[in-house]
Amino acid sequence: MENKLKQPRERADVELRYKWDLDSLYVSDEAWEEDFKKVKSLFNEVKKYKGQLDHSSETLFEALSLHDEISRLVGNIYTYAKMKQDEDTRNSKYQALTDRATGIMVEAEESISFIVPEILMMDGEKINSYLQEKEELKVYSHSIDNIMRKKKHVLSPREEAILAQTGEIAVSPETVYGMLNNADLKFPSIKDESGNDVEITHGSYIPLMENKDRRVRHDTFKAFYDTFYKFKNTFAATLSGNVKKNIFYSKLRNYNNALEASINENNIPAEVYHNLIKAVSNNLDSLHKYVALRKKALGLDELHMYDLYTPIVKDVDMKIPYEEGKEMVLEGLNSLGEEYVSIVEEGLKSRWIDVYENRGKRSGAYSWGTYDSNPFILLNYQDTLDNVYTLAHELGHSLHSYYSKKNQPFVYGRYSIFLAEVASTTNEALLMDNMLKKVKSKDEELYLLNHFLEQFRGTVYRQTMFAEFELAIHQHVENGQSLTADWLCETYKELNKKYYGPDIIVDDEIAIEWARIPHFYYNFYVYQYATGFSAAIALSQKILSEGESAVNDYIGFLKSGSSDYPINVLKKAGVDMTTPEPIEKALKLFGDLVNKMEELL
């Protein structure tokens, strides 16, 4: 397994069983081309309904059905092309397919852009009478309610069509960033603890930062971020372009700011975002204590940013090959019941997962797929405990998708972004609980506690820091200022000082870390990791303490998709995110675990 770390393989050299099987999307590129042609023909068909939606319940139903058919096909087309590109971002064939898929996605949005404005122009009583009159139309009741809710933010049909045409331009900052970060950026090699040359990659960076040898960590950290610094102005330009895009759309749609425009999409009050930052900022003392504890446990005179990932317990060496990691995850999820575990087993056997890093492969991890396909998971698996948790995490996403699309019509078959991190983090919490119950020594318990506290730090504190940074950069531009590389670096470094406290040296290199975070291109996404983690802690504790009844409620939550507003879907499972209670409970648990670790040390 050492070779994977030192020398990423070419994709052709990765065993078939460790590559995902995209046949449930398209059995060939030719099948993809057929759907590409088919969806083009539907654009003309849907135009026939323009200006006709209020004529009858039948007309409204036919237009909405056609809207779904187009969205469904375009989703398949884009997802396949992008996932094929992600296998090896250097592959020009799939770069071209992705470019075409992006283009047809924009065409699709333009072709159906008249539907929402026309519904908004309809009289509410007429819509209600149509819903009563035609049984098949009732499936769209919540969807229509969601449209009417955003009435003041939707433009005229002509303006909506023009906005749809800007879509291809709008993704340019993210596209340029992705190509620079994933395909063109090349990191140097460093000497490992044995004196061997090791190439730094996105996939190997964290395992190297977990290395017991402090010199290896230092050299990795410096080489990694020095590479980003060489391109700091380009990264600043792409991020600035993305922020300006968000603000442009928020103004056109009559929102007060970009944050409000983003979170209103899921009917989330802005207070949820601000309350998260406030609650975490008021509870930084536990994080500061944890940092001080890490410094003491590692026996360091000075704790640096490159010391944050290495395990506190030096004597436990947990190298976990993928096959072993799979079994650990399956056992950890037993408390979710036989049905849930059997679906996970099916996914593991049926090549839902693209396991190992190869040259050119997209960095990181994700779960994706469409209403018509299996869920799919992209990993860049290294033999670490962290990667076992990544597997559990992404399986949580995939099972959420699986249950939603099996139990909801297409229109509600995807769960909302606000709920996206709940199922994934619930899996992680259940896995950790199971592993802590089976510890064989104090050192192993400390190691697992350290890992869970790191997950906590990374998901609640770190993502909230990201959320605060994202809010700051948007507000800076909304106040008429420019996002220069120097301002971004200074702002980011100061936030690190605030969050990590007085017992760590905040190295200059960390100031450029914002440049490696792709989530800053996802339009106020990251705060949901922290809210989702908090909700997941509440749900996992209910599952472990209440058993079958809580599992049934939880599976019901997974089956709900987007059939109701996300705040309501979560309330039905027993968690109310409109209050600070779940966040405060999660932060209290973090503090309790820090105290427990202190006692064991």
Separation CA 247–CA 480 (nearest Å): 11
Is 110 labeled as catalytic in the residue annotation? no
Residue 358 β-bridge partners: 9
Asked if 109 and 167 count as a contact pair (C-beta separation under 8 A), the reply is yes
Q: How far apart are CA 489 and CA 159, in angstroms?
A: 37
Q: Give alpha helix (H) positions in 230-337.
A: 232-252, 258-263, 270-281, 284-298, 322-332
CA-atom Rg of the chain in angstroms: 24
Which ranges of 23-171 would DSSP assign to H, the alpha helix?
29-47, 57-87, 92-111, 115-121, 124-133, 141-149, 157-165, 167-170
Amino acid in the structure at residue 54: D
Catalytic residue, from 357, 394, 428, 509: name it.
394
CB-based burial label for 67 (10 Å; 0-12, 13-18, 19+):
buried
The angle at the Cα of 83, spanning 77 to 84, to the nearest 5 degrees, equals: 90
* Cα-based angle 7, 12, 13 (whole degrees, multiple of 5): 50
| Owner of token pair 């950026």 | 185
Q: For 351, how many CA atoms within 13 A lie in the half-sphere containing its CB?
A: 11
Give the integer Cα–Cα distance in Å for 471 and 526: 11
Element (DSSP H or E) covering residue 299: none
Which pair of structure tokens corresponds to residue 477? 């531009």
Task: Provide DSSP, 375-398.
Answer: -EEE----SSHHHHHHHHHHHHHH
The DSSP secondary-structure symbol of 421 reads T
**Rounded Cα gap, residues 366 and 352, in angstroms:** 12
Positions annotated as catalytic residues are 394
